[in-house]
Structure 1
Amino acid sequence: MKFPAKTTRKIAIFRALQLGDLLCSVPAFRALRHAYPDAEITLLGLPWAATFCERFSHYIDRFIHFPGYTGLPEQPIDIAGWKRFEIQMRAEPFDLILQMQGNGSIVNDMLETLHAGPVAGFHSAGNHRKGDLFLEYPTGISEIRRHLLMLENLGIPGNGTDLEFPVRESEMQHLRKSTSFLLDSDYVCVHPGSRGSWRQWPPSYFACIADLCAGKGYRVVVTGTKEEAAITSQVVALMEYPALDLTGKTGLGEIAQLIKESRLLVSNCTGVSHIAAATRTPSIVISMDGEPERWGPLNTTLHKTIDWLRDPDMDKVLDCLEVFLPVAKFTVYP
């Protein structure tokens, strides 16, 4: 390895992005922990990711809030927060800083100006670095494999491509108490929301698929965050069959357990699609971002990704439904 385990005691990962982005990085986090079992690994991320680090504490030891930076769209820059972040990073230099944010534009310069330790990761036209710590940013491949390639460039071997999503016992118990009527029943999860309306399949299409699932005898559970209530309520209103609307009523762990116990997930290409990949729940994923090869689940037998921008064919969705969903053994609806 280019950074030997004996002398690499503190590692920082810069990935200040959302849930799906971080879940796709879990195989890389796992490989990193396997290669550096005794190192302290710190995630530099958005505020919400503090809870992600708690959930994945077997891979991530610490969390440092990244306060934003000029040119990065995920959050507005907090000038005072940036000053504190700068001071903190320089006060505790790292043996390795992994740039897992993107192709290196803006971010490589930003991390190097911190003078907090050697930076390694991706670079691309306009921000190339000398030496062998940077890899040309690959396109047209899975986000999962992209970061494993980056680690391989540093001599860090991969440790599988499987995703993970640990659920706490307390979360499972909370779900049991709040949805006890779902126990031992066949149900399908429909998740019509996503971050950004441009990535959302129309509510009428979700309602159509949900009704088909209900017609096969499955209970339909609609999930989403409270911020997604407008779109989930549209789906429920457009359905002919009744649905259980759990929008805003479950935390992330409860949603993960709900997906794990469901017969099928139907969603946009968003964070929950990666949870279904982690729980090995069959899924139909509608890709509206034009990058199905990047964000679609790797197991194409268990998960079907429909590239709706290139091929908006409802028959393909219906064909997937027939493959994944036989008529329910115990019919819920008359």
Structure 2
Amino acid sequence: MAVTLVLRALGLGDLLTAVPALRALRRARPDDELVLAAPAPLEPLVSLLDAVDVLLPTPGLGALRHGVGAPFRPDLAVNLHGSGPQSIADLLTTRPERLITHRHPDFPRLDGPAWKGDLHEVERWGVLLACHGIPVDPEELWLPPPSEPSPAPGAVVIHPGAAFPARRWPPERFAAVARALTHDVTRTVETDGREAGARPVIVTGDEAERPLATEVAERAGLGREAVFVGQDLAGLAALVADAALVVCGDTGVGHLATAFGTPSVLLFGPTPPDLWGPPTTRPQHVVLWSGTVGDPHAPTPDPGLLRLTVPAVLEAARTLLVGGVPCRTNTAGLPPDQGGPTGKTGSRSVSSARAMSD
């Protein structure tokens, strides 16, 4: 059987933004065994994806050359990892019959489109594959719901963490949102007589984010039972898939909400949402952004992110929770002199925060 090997040895959001490209490859080569080289912890989501046959555990760059290797010679290798040179070198060690990748000066014999830092991450891989006659539907971001039941069905999920401090909205603001939404549930029970706990507000995070999640929960007046930390990816996916709402920053959890169609309020900071945000055709995902571009790897919260207010987040969250659709905004309702509408959506000349250079 012919083998197509795809390299995407990155994180959660990176996998989910590559789903349309993976599905396009499956359609283009239906008889191939499609092998995805990606980190092993992503397996619960890869198993939901109808495009991938085999996950080759690949923790990062260099693993194909010096670690896991590839127990086969692929007929086609596809670089969905980055622009090179390391990702290209990794795939070349598998001795593919053919390689699809972006053009790089270190490999002048390999043809491909130039890397452009101002493309949305989904569009980037669509352009790459289109150059080889493989059309990609950028709307194919969906995943089927996981079979694992949610430990908190219908919850409002507050996810305060992010990979870098620049993308972390202050914990006291997340707590204010959680406290207000908890009050909304209590008031609904008192007014309508609905059963308490019908829409719990919970705080999520990985094990390293336990102090942050606990702080947010304590500030919000939530009990320990509201802290869901250290879930494996299957458990986190189940929580998000069955949630009433997700409130988070520019993180992989936001991409999970997009994949499962869960309503979400997404707080963008230094990176423009037109590089990593959800499709503009999906109004159940509301993006708040000040309109300014910053350093996504800065050691402190981005100034633009700090301009997003608790009332703006609550307005979007409450509208979604009652089944409404807020107007999509990149400005959090701020006036023009404070980051509000100016007719601009931010610079598209800045490289994507997570567009890998190698």
Q: Does 1:191 align with 2:159?
A: yes
Relative CO higher for 1 or 2, CA cutoff 8 Å, sep ≥ 6? Answer: 2
Q: For each residue in 1:258-308, what CA deviation from the matched residue of structure 2 results, as whole angstroms up to 9, or x when unmatched?
A: 323332110111111111111212111112342422211114522122235
Contact 1:68 1:82 in 2 (8 A): no
SS for the counterpart of 2:266 is strand
2:285 corresponds, among 294, 303, 315, to 303
SS for the counterpart of 1:223 is strand
Task: State the partner residue of 1:155.
Answer: 133
Q: Tell me the amino acid that sits aligned with residue 24 of structure 1.
A: T
1:68: how far off? 4.4
Q: Does 1:207 align with 2:175?
A: yes
Q: For each residue in 1:237-260, what CA deviation from the matched residue of structure 2 results, as whole angstroms up to 9, or x when unmatched?
A: 111455742423644333333323
Whole-angstrom CA distance in 1 between matches of 2:238 and 2:59: 32
Whole-angstrom CA distance in 2 between matches of 1:55 and 1:250: 18
SS for the counterpart of 1:144 is helix
Q: Does 1:257 align with 2:238?
A: yes
Q: For each residue in 1:88-114, what CA deviation from the matched residue of structure 2 results, as whole angstroms up to 9, or x when unmatched?
A: 45xx22111101111223322343354
Task: State the partner residue of 1:18.
Answer: 11
1:96 corresponds, among 62, 66, 76, to 76
SS for the counterpart of 1:165 is coil
Unaligned runs of 5+ in 1: 1-7, 70-76, 328-334
TM (norm. structure 1) is 0.77
TM (norm. structure 2) is 0.73
2:54 corresponds, among 42, 54, 62, to 62
Whole-angstrom CA distance in 2 between matches of 1:231 and 1:221: 13
Percent same amino acid among aligned pairs? 26
Q: Does 1:137 align with 2:115?
A: yes
Contact 2:217 2:227 in 1 (8 A): no
Whole-angstrom CA distance in 1 between matches of 2:255 and 2:164: 17
Q: For each residue in 1:116-174, what CA deviation from the matched residue of structure 2 results, as whole angstroms up to 9, or x when unmatched?
A: 332212235x446456x4111233232112212211111012245232333443x12xx
Unaligned runs of 5+ in 2: 186-198, 291-301, 324-358
How many residues of Structure 1 are paired with residues of Structure 2 in the alignment? 296
Whole-angstrom CA distance in 1 between matches of 2:5 and 2:202: 39
Whole-angstrom CA distance in 1 between matches of 2:18 and 2:258: 13
SS for the counterpart of 2:102 is strand
Whole-angstrom CA distance in 2 between matches of 1:168 and 1:267: 21
Q: Does 1:220 align with 2:201?
A: yes
Q: Tell me the amino acid that sits aligned with residue 133 of structure 2.
A: G
SS for the counterpart of 2:113 is strand
SS for the counterpart of 1:134 is coil
Contact 1:222 1:243 in 2 (8 A): no
1:40: how far off? 0.7
Q: For each residue in 1:10-60, what CA deviation from the matched residue of structure 2 results, as whole angstroms up to 9, or x when unmatched?
A: 11001110111001111111111112111111111223234443332x311
User: Residues 212 and 128 (structure 1 numbering): CA distance in 2 closer, same or farther, change over 3 Å?
Assistant: farther
User: Residues 117 and 305 (structure 1 numbering): CA distance in 2 closer, same or farther, change over 3 Å?
Assistant: same
Task: State the partner residue of 1:280.
Answer: 261
Q: Does 1:231 align with 2:209?
A: no
Tell me the C-alpha RMSD between the 2 structures: 2.9
Q: Does 1:245 align with 2:238?
A: no
Whole-angstrom CA distance in 2 between matches of 1:108 and 1:258: 36
Contact 1:11 1:98 in 2 (8 A): yes
Q: Does 1:109 align with 2:89?
A: yes
Q: Tell me the amino acid that sits aligned with residue 158 of structure 1.
A: V
Q: Tell me the amino acid that sits aligned with residue 207 of structure 1.
A: A
Q: Which moved more, 1:223-232 or 1:189-198?
A: 189-198
Whole-angstrom CA distance in 1 between matches of 2:41 and 2:138: 26
User: Residues 52 and 260 (structure 1 numbering): CA distance in 2 closer, same or farther, change over 3 Å?
Assistant: closer
Whole-angstrom CA distance in 1 between matches of 2:43 and 2:235: 18
Whole-angstrom CA distance in 2 between matches of 1:251 and 1:65: 17
